[in-house]
Copies of this chain bind each other. A is one copy, B any other.
């Protein structure tokens, strides 16, 4: 457990706990303004915030002064806290009477391992609920000025992951390879060459646009516009090391934002 110096210190008296609960909260893609009002309220009222590595410092600043922050960060393909340990941590604090916020990057219902944690909380008979968040696909597509769906182009969109429990994730490549398909690929950087190979093998046009958005909505956001053919080379050259969302079937539309800035506005 970590108590960051700027939030609490060891002399702070323990919070007065009541009946414990767990709220699974979507932190959104990084920009703290992309949290929902409900998520911000939950953070402000929490006793314990158990968060992933991908949750930005600016979002964590929305927690109340009384809250203790615990980082259980996990990184794709790398070392990670064991899910069982995270489950136990959540349950332990809720049983002690804390209002626990389990804060997950993006939307907890999208590639968030939410079910495993809910089952642990349910088994301990603890109250729980879910506050949705802006998922990376939504923030990233807004950043490139496109839509996930478009009349006359695609009447459906897939959110899929580049890797799963067994390694590279298998998908319905035949259907994805058809013209007009759009997919938002999470955790796809390491599997870009695999995905490219499978799609081309199943007949996808090598000129299909592919866009990669790194650090969507954050000040260091970067956008790579490429094609299915050039994806592995261009992605390697870009050297993205932040979280990235890959769009298959979408090219960026130039966004004119110079004159629009609501960031200095106070909330009414």
Interface residues of chain A, those whose CB is within 8 Å of chain B, are 19, 21, 23, 26, 28, 31-38, 40-45, 62-64, 99, 107-116, 118, 122, 126-135, 138-139, 141-143, 145-152, 155-161, 164-165, 169-172, 175, 183, 253, 255-260, 262-263, 265-268
Contact = CB atoms under 8 A, between A and B. Distances in A.
A170 to B, nearest CB: 8
Contacts of A266: 41, 44
A257 B129 contact: yes
Contacts of A40: 37, 267-268
B36 A257 contact: no
Nearest to A113: B151
B41 A132 contact: no
A148 B186 CA distance: 13
The 3 closest A-B pairs by CB, nearest first: A156-B160, A44-B268, A33-B38
A45 to B, nearest CB: 5
Contact of A127 (B23, B43, B64, B258): B258
A255 B128 contact: yes
Given A132-B34, A262-B41, A155 B149 contact: no
A108 B138 CA distance: 9
Contacts of A143: 130
A262 B157 CA distance: 33
7 contacts: A36-B36, A37-B37, A63-B268, A109-B148, A111-B149, A129-B260, A130-B142
Given A126-B256, A130-B255, A131-B142, 20 more contacts: A19-B259, A23-B260, A23-B262, A34-B38, A40-B267, A108-B147, A110-B147, A122-B253, A127-B258, A127-B260, A128-B255, A128-B257, A130-B143, A132-B134, A132-B138, A132-B141, A151-B164, A152-B165, A156-B160, A175-B175
A151 to B, nearest CB: 5
A240 B42 CA distance: 31
A142 B138 contact: no
B267 A150 contact: no
